[in-house]
Structures are given as C-alpha cells and as structure tokens.
Amino acid sequence: MKKQRQQLEQKVKRLILLFVIGLALSGITAFPLLSEVSFLHDKVLPIAPSFVQFWINKVFDGIKTIDSTYPFMAYGTDWLAFAHLVIAIAFIGPYRDPIRNIWVIQFGRIACLMIFPLAFICGGIRGIPFWWQLVDCSFGVFGLMLLTHIYRNIQKLEILILNINK
C-alpha cells in the first residue's frame, strides 16, 4: 500500500507540474505579442482559411498600430502575463502537500469555469469572433479536465493514506 501511495503522489505531482508549466507558458506568451502576431502574419496567414486570414490581419494591424503609437498599452498584457505566473506559483502548495492544499485545485477549477462567461461576454462586447472565443474557452476546458483529474487523484490519495494509517 505504501508503494501505491508513493506512485499516486508522484502522479499527482507530475500532473500539477504539467498544469503549472501550461499556465506559466500561456502567461509568458502574453509578453511578446507583436512578434508572435508578426510570426502568424508572415507564416500562417498564407495557408490559413480566409476567415482566419481576416482575423490575423486585423489583429496584426491593431497590435502594430498600438505598439508604434501607444506602446504603453502593452503594459496591460504584461500584467496579464504576471498574473498567470503568480497563479502558477500558488500551485506550489498542492505540489508540496496535495491533500492539505486541495483548495488550490478547487480554486483552479473555478477559475477554469469562469473563463467561459468572460470569453463569451467580453469577447462579444469587444468584437472577438465566436470561433476565437471558442479557442479561448479551450484553455478552460483543458485546464478543468486536468485539474479535475488531479482533484480526483488527491481524493484517492487521501483515502489511501487514511487506510494505511488505520
């Protein structure tokens, strides 16, 4: 039973690490927006469907204009990136002690669910195409799936530890 406990703990830690890496990477990508959109414009645009081409052109023109005229506006996405990194740090708690810090996993699941109203309400208000709102929602879907899997494994781990200690 102790070996089973160790294996389950390792699995939980690997899954949490995967989530933290994904969260951190999605945040870090908010820093170099102009170069990322330039890459899409130069490399993806020629092979993309017309509705995607339209959107890439529009986003590229908008970011390029803002960057050249109002570079301070990118400070908002810098804060977005920072928030991702800070939230990722919160997952150190469940990595170190999953049972005691299961609340962080619950918090993450709630945050993933909150992506949907944000994407659909603010996306609609800001003129984001519906198909791109769905792309944004995919972060919530995958995050929720992963965190739910982690949550269930932590519950199994807790039951296993209780049985070992009996």
Which tens digit of pLDDT belongs to each residue from 93-140?
999 999 999 999 999 999 999 999 999 999 999 999 999 999 999 999
Q: Which structural domain, as residue segments, surrounds residue 129? A: 2-164
10 touches 165 (CB < 8 A): no
User: Cβ(160)–Cβ(9) under 8 Å?
Assistant: no
Mean residue pLDDT across the chain: 96
Report the half-sphere exposure of 139 (CA within 13 A, side-chain side): 22
The CA distance from 113 to 137, in Å, is 9
Amino acid identity, residue 50?
A: S
Four-point Cα dihedral 79, 105, 131, 50, nearest 10: 70
Which pTM was predicted?
Answer: 0.91
Number of structural domains (the chain) is 1
pLDDT digits (tens, 9 = 90+) for 60-84: 999 999 999 999 999 999 999 999 9
Question: Can you list the positions of beta strands (E) in 7-116?
Answer: none
